[in-house]
Structure 1
Amino acid sequence: MRLILGAMLALMGVPSALAQDRPRAAPVVAATDGARDFDFEFGDWDAHIARRLRPLTGSEEWVIYDGDSVVHKVWGGDANLGELDVKGRAGRIHGLSLRLYDPAAKRWRIHWSNSNDGQIGPAMVGGFSHGRGEFYDAEMLGARSIYVRFIFTGATPGTTKFRIEQAFSADGGKSWETNWIADFKKRG
């Protein structure tokens, strides 16, 4: 796991202190091309999200959101755009996910933007194997350098449901705390 995480961060050129502490690893190369890995997600979905309110603080307080997700093909499928609009007692999340395929590296880059701040976040880099996707990046959470991990499960052609879990690590990837669980169910 640490080798994969190190390789992913090396591919991204992560300048964080966390990335500098790890040994350099060879880039991870996908077994297949991967350019169609997100095709399963095109269309309209019902979204149910559980979000930890204060990650990496020991808090066990979660909030629930429900709403819609729509994913559109861009550039003939070499990119895609996901729109998320969910509401709950903690408010509304109106987000945009831009996924771009890098054919040379055979990897996807996922960028997230929230309408609350209108900024595009750093790329999470990764890919899929056997219906499971793993994506990583390094970010700041307040004044702390952390690793961020996305895991997609159930991501297979023709699926009618899948899950994304986001987790943070403040110890260089030794342990992870899940802070976002999103379940999607295909409409129609």
Structure 2
Amino acid sequence: MPPGYSLAGTGGRQDFDFLAGAWTTHQRRLKTRGEGSTEWVDAPSNVHCARQYLDGLTTAEESYSPAKSITGLFLYLFDLQKRQWSLYWIDPKSGNLGSPLVGGFAGNRGTFYGQDVDDGRPVKVRYAWTKVDNDHARWEQAFSFDGRTWETNWTAEFTRANSVEVCTRK
């Protein structure tokens, strides 16, 4: 397994309280994944609007492009018995619910692991969330194609925004 990979990580039901509200992002992606690329490209900066449900057990985060088209829906579900989060992404092009990543926060850093397929290749996946302060957060995605090393391939710097201004679709 790649370093740190574990499906046993736990957290608390308030781990994603910080995410509620509106955010803008600056995103970067590796130009090519799984080939040793070091060339990063800026990705479209999205708007993220998140709401909590069930007293914080569930957070739903909808992502929009600058043109206000939906780019995805993220679901964060907390299992009270396991004390573990399951993170899902719903692709707006297919409506498919992606494979879950599981884990939790230790302090201001959350790590979540799972398995997926990237262009037909099975990969181990790691999401890392960092709560920087009340108005800033960082998310990153890393894949392990070889089961030994991680390649960070996507990052997003989150900056808090005004919900009324950015979460109202026209």
Confirm or deny a common fold (TM above 0.5).
Answer: yes
The amino acid of 2:24's aligned partner reads D
Greater helix proportion = 1
| 1:87 shift after superposition | 4.7
Quote the residue 1:36 is aligned against.
14
1:121-160 aligned within 5 A: 121-154=98-131, 159-160=134-135
1:45-90 Cα offsets, whole Å, 9 max, x none, are 11111122431123425242113111101112100100111359xx
| 1:125 shift after superposition | 0.3
* Helix, strand or coil at the partner of 1:66: coil
Q: Of the candidates 35, 49, 58, which is equivalent to residue 70 of structure 1?
A: 49
1:28-107 aligned within 5 A: 28=9, 30=10, 34-59=12-37, 60-87=39-66, 94-107=71-84
Structure 2 length normalisation: TM-score?
0.84
Quote the residue 1:169 is aligned against.
144
CA, structure 1 residues 34+122, in 2 after alignment: closer, same or farther (shift >3 Å)?
same
Asked if 2 retains the 8 angstrom alpha-carbon contact of 1:154 and 1:163, the reply is yes
Cα separation, 2, equivalents of 1:175 and 1:2? 5
* Helix, strand or coil at the partner of 1:76: helix
Asked if 1 retains the 8 angstrom alpha-carbon contact of 2:2 and 2:150, the reply is no
For the aligned residue pairs, the C-alpha RMSD in angstroms reads 2.2
1:20-48 Cα offsets, whole Å, 9 max, x none, are xxxxxxx44x4xx6011100110011111
Count of residues paired in the alignment: 160
The amino acid of 2:160's aligned partner reads K
The amino acid of 1:83's aligned partner reads E
How many percent of aligned residue pairs carry the same amino acid?
32
Asked if 1 retains the 8 angstrom alpha-carbon contact of 2:22 and 2:49, the reply is yes
Cα separation, 1, equivalents of 2:153 and 2:51? 26
CA, structure 1 residues 2+53, in 2 after alignment: closer, same or farther (shift >3 Å)?
closer
4+ aligned runs moved over 3 Å, structure 1: 1-4
* Helix, strand or coil at the partner of 1:40: helix
Unmatched 5+ stretches in structure 2: 163-170
Cα separation, 1, equivalents of 2:135 and 2:80? 27
The amino acid of 1:185's aligned partner reads T
Cα separation, 2, equivalents of 1:136 and 1:123? 8
Cα separation, 1, equivalents of 2:65 and 2:88? 18
Which structure has more RCO (C-alpha within 8 Å, separation ≥ 6)?
2
Moved more, 141-150 or 51-60: 51-60
Quote the residue 1:17 is aligned against.
none
Unmatched 5+ stretches in structure 1: 9-26
